[in-house]
């Protein structure tokens, strides 16, 4: 039996996640992380995605992507294939970098989206890698809550969603991130777990 086709939707928002094969590293050093971000930027621009949040950990990655066109699969498959090829060449290795295909859970454009965005960028805090989410250099948090972030992170679009209930969107998001990084995790799943409309494998 063939694999189930990925859900594709014009205007859909997806929590995308991937982890290393056998839970191994997908980023061995900062050069790998910089390469992944360059490929992500190129894919966001080429596929006209709206990138709402991202976080690169050591053995997994989280992305929150809105797809104006139904092209998530082609973008992710090409990006991860190219990254894996470069990773293997750079480190003199062979074999799979990622464990299977990426996962993608459709997210409702309401409070669920805010929760997922905060969960994504709070991963390093829950893992004990930093005290504040904005301190982690490999996520979108500092760019979103600060000024002068790259234009391929769609801060304005994220704040449209977060601000839909009224009030200051930046302050609301900062509070959500603080709560998501707290020991209680605001009731969120453990670190490395996908968050979305339904249960999903851990990543």
Using an 8 Å Cβ cutoff, are 57 and 124 in contact?
yes
Domains: count for the chain: 1
CATH number (domain holding residue 92): 3.30.70.1290
In tens digits, what is the pLDDT along the chain, a chain of 203 residues? 456 667 789 999 999 999 999 999 999 999 999 999 999 999 999 999 999 999 999 999 999 999 999 999 999 999 999 999 999 999 999 999 999 899 999 999 999 999 999 999 999 999 999 999 999 999 999 999 997 789 999 999 999 999 998 899 999 999 999 999 986 554 444 444 455 443 333 32
pLDDT score recorded for residue 184? 55
Q: What is the rounded CA–CA span in Å between residue 139 and residue 121?
A: 6
Q: Considering the domain boundaries, does residue 72 fall inside one?
A: yes
pTM of the model: 0.88
SS3 content of the chain, % helix, strand, coil (to 5): 45, 15, 40
**How much is the pLDDT for 8?**
85
Answer for the pair 29, 91: CB distance below 8 angstroms, yes or no: no
Domain assignment present for residue 70? The answer is: yes
CA–CA distance, 199 with 201 (Å, rounded to integer): 7
84 lies in a domain? yes
Token pair in block for residue 22: 């056998």
Contacts of residue 48, Cβ cutoff 8 Å, sequence gap at least 6: 68, 69
C-alpha of 39 from chain center: 14
Domain that holds residue 61: 12-186
Residue 100 belongs to some domain of the structure: yes
| 192 located within any domain | no
């Amino acid at each position: 039996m063939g694999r189930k086709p990925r859900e594709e939707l014009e205007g859909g928002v997806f929590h995308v996640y991937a982890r290393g094969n056998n839970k191994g590293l997908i980023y061995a050093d900062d050069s790998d992380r910089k390469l992944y971000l360059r490929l992500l930027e190129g894919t966001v621009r080429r596929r006209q995605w709206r990138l709402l949040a991202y976080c690169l950990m050591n053995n997994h990655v989280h992305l929150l992507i809105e797809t104006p066109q139904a092209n998530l699969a082609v973008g992710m498959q090409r990006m991860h294939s190219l990254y894996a090829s470069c990773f293997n060449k750079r480190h003199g290795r062979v074999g799979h970098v990622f464990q299977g295909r990426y996962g993608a859970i459709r997210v409702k454009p309401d409070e669920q989206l805010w929760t997922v965005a905060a969960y994504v960028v709070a991963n390093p805090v829950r893992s004990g890698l930093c005290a504040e989410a904005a301190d982690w250099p490999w996520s979108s948090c500092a760019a979103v809550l600060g000024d002068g972030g790259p234009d391929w992170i769609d801060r304005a679009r994220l704040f449209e969603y977060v601000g839909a209930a009224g009030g200051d969107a930046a302050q609301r998001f900062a509070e959500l991130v603080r709560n998501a990084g707290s020991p209680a995790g605001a009731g969120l799943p453990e670190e490395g777990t996908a968050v979305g409309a339904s249960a999903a494998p851990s990543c």
